[in-house]
Structure 1
Amino acid sequence: MVANGLLKYDEAIEHYRRLLLANPGKALVICEGGNVAMLEEGGVFGAPIRNDGTVELDGQYDFDISAFDTEQGCWDGETPELSWERINNPTFIDLSATVAEAIAELDENDATRKAIAAAYAAGYTHGVSAAEGGYVGDADQEAAEWIDGGSPELEEVLQLAGFTSAK
């Protein structure tokens, strides 16, 4: 969808939502200087990009119309043409490196949790969901119950991987 004309703030956010829904597990580069748009629980949020190219999740922020030039139709410090270019020819950052970082922050003594979270992040779900049954062993059942318990850490990892929930 190629679009042009005066971009409105609400339109920009909806374009970001549409692009992100079509590209799960990815963040959309939106501003010069290293900012992305990303989905979380159906909402579109901004976040800075670190020097290593991963997304700084702790820096996540709500978009604010005060940072959008409504007369020009672009974010402050950008041009209208560049704002449209980022929508019409989007650049995405794969969140897998950020997911790996979030997994690394899980309890370092619980290798099962990390392994199961990594499996979900990689898209492997067969045999690890308590709802599906068919446990490999006690560790698999324990991990599956932890997944179904939906800790905030796990939910964050799974959302970054493009899943809406562990359940």
Structure 2
Amino acid sequence: MHPFEDGNGRIGRALSEKVLAQALGAPSLIALAHTIERHRKAYYDALEASNKANAVTAWLDYFGRTILQAQRNTLARVDFLIAKARFYDRLRGRLNPRQEKVVARLFAAGIDGFKGGLSAENYASIAKASPATVTRDLQDLVEKGALTRTGERRYARYYLRLEGGG
């Protein structure tokens, strides 16, 4: 749905979520706008193709697949938030302020994670810490089960460990 000539799709997407909720008879908890935003080119390609062909079948096919993907994205986001809560429950009171700051930054990166993983240099920049402190903090986070490590030395990268451990 793209109701306006000026390209204002936000209202169209909001209306789409409202119509879907009404059809379901309950609020829909889908990240439709988020899903479309993540695949913006596909959205505009499908929209343009349906406008040129003046046919809705391809658009409905695209939109149906997008709604299903939005449902999967929403479930993944809910799982991420539950894992985040469990992570903080597991490590409550066990992180120093630098570690808390870095972990919060990793979580702020969202479900897609910290691009390329966390490096020691990233940690130092976020925590404003010396190399020796960074090494100790990272090793401690791995030992506590907060992070997993891949690679060695300058190629080492760290990722949140959201289940198990600790």
Query: Rg bigger for which structure?
Result: 2
Query: Would the TM-score normalized by the shorter structure come out above 0.5?
Result: no
Larger strand fraction of residues: 1
Higher relative contact order (CA 8 A, sep 6+): 1
Larger helix fraction of residues: 2
Q: How does the TM-score come out when normalised to structure 1?
A: 0.29
